[in-house]
Every structure is written in structure tokens, then in C-alpha cells.
Amino acid sequence: MEIKLRPIGTVKNSRKEPIDDFWEEVISEIELSDDIPTEALNCISDFSHLEIVYYFDKVKANEIVFSGRPRGNPDYPLVGIFGQRKKDRPNRIGICTVELIAHTERKIKVKYLDAIDGTMVLDIKPVFKEFLPNREIVQPLWVSEMMKNYWK
């Protein structure tokens, strides 16, 4: 079975390469595709945070992996692709929770989006408190170690 998706927008920012760390200072603008009506963003500014679903279009088919050590670090365990957030995924789909900074007409400006300039956006969803975990989030220690510079 094949699923066909079309981008609803494009990311514009200063990050040209998929570098793993230091995303906090990157401010991104998402502009709607020409075929998406402006009213698709109506009332989006009522929300503080959004979930952005995007496509890792720079990942080549031969770079897709199903397991490996995160960031190639031999100190980290051998982890399946669905136990990490690596970009080299089977369907090359990324998702990120962002802070909405501004909305004007056909564009939104966001912080904490870890997608490079030109990335195709597949969907935008508002964050509802009711969809957030209602219990403590548990993760292995290596994740905190790996992520220590991600949002600096």
C-alpha cells in the first residue's frame, strides 16, 4: 500500500544543515502552500504550542536505518529506530512540539522546531493539555545525556 501526502507548508529559517544540537536560538517561519487557504490558520494564535509534522526530505533511501547507537556513540545502547527520534526513519517523518510566537495571514513564526530551511510541513496541530501525558514521562539516562545541548 502506498500513501501519498502533499506538503501544506514550508519551513524557512537560518539552519541549512541537519546539525544535532543548538536549536534553541533558531526561529522558524512556516508559510502555507499556495493551495492551502488562509483560513486554515484561523484561531491558531489562541494556542501557545503546536505540533509540527514534517518530512525529512534530505534523508536518502539508502540512509534509512532500523537500529543503531544514537548519534553513533559507542557508550549508548543499540536501539531500534522506534526507540529513538533519529531522522533516518523508514518513512522520514518528524514531529516536534513548538512554541507559537506569531501568526500573520499565511505564516506562523515558531520556536523549538528542529527542521532545516526548506523542510516540507505535512501537518500543524494545536497542543491540547488533554492530549499531554497525565503521568510522569520515563526515559533512559542516555537520552538526557544525548540531549543536553539540543536546546542550547
**pLDDT of the residue at 64:** 95
Half-sphere exposure (Cβ direction) of 121: Cα atoms closer than 13 Å: 25
Find how far residue 64's CA is from the centre of its chain: 17
Mean pLDDT of 17-29: 89
Check if the beta carbon of residue 124 is closer than 8 Å to that of residue 51: yes
pLDDT at 21: 86
51: β partners:
97, 125
**What are the backbone angles phi and psi of residue 72, rounded to the nearest 5°?**
70, 15
Contact criterion met (CB below 8 Å) for 123 and 53: yes
Q: Which DSSP state fits 102? A: E
The pLDDT of residue 20: 83
State pTM to two decimals. 0.93
Provide the pLDDT for residue 151. Answer: 84
**Cell digits for 145?**
545525556
The per-residue pLDDT for range 37-55, each reduced to its tens digit, is: 999 999 999 999 999 999 9
CA triplet 152, 32, 21: central angle to 5 degrees? 15
- By residue count, the chain amounts to 152
Q: Where are the domains of the chain?
A: 9-146
Q: What is the DSSP letter of 8?
A: S
Fold of 9-146: Elongation Factor Tu (Ef-tu); domain 3 (2.40.30)
